[in-house]
Amino acid sequence: MRKKICQTLTDLYNQYAFLLESGCLKEAEREFFQRVSPDMADCVATLSLESLSCYLSRYYKKEVIMEDTLQNALEQIEARGYAAGLR
């Protein structure tokens, strides 16, 4: 389950790879962005959606809230008690 979540997050970040060249990310944010991968650390996976939402908000100059099937899946994982394995 964890591997699938990490792969989904990686695919999502790949869709927004243009942010790396946009000039809207600070160096530390660029480094974090590049750590998102199928084998990422738990702390990166945990922060990835919130971070991407911030990056997109800054790029588009409006609030972006990540509400998609991935967010719903993560909420269900937490509700079922599986989230402890991700932390």
Upper half-sphere CA count for residue 1 (Cβ side, 13 Å): 13
Q: What is the pTM of this model?
A: 0.74
Question: Could you give the CA distance from residue 12 to residue 5 in angstroms, rounded to a whole number?
Answer: 11
Domain edges within the chain? 2-85
CB atoms within 10 A of CB 62: 8
User: Tens of pLDDT along 28-67?
Assistant: 999 999 999 999 999 999 899 989 999 999 999 887 766 6
Residue with tokens 């927004």: 16
As a dihedral over the C-alpha atoms of residue 54, residue 41, residue 73, residue 25, rounded to 10 degrees, the angle is: 20
Backbone angles phi, psi at 70, to 5 degrees: -65, -45
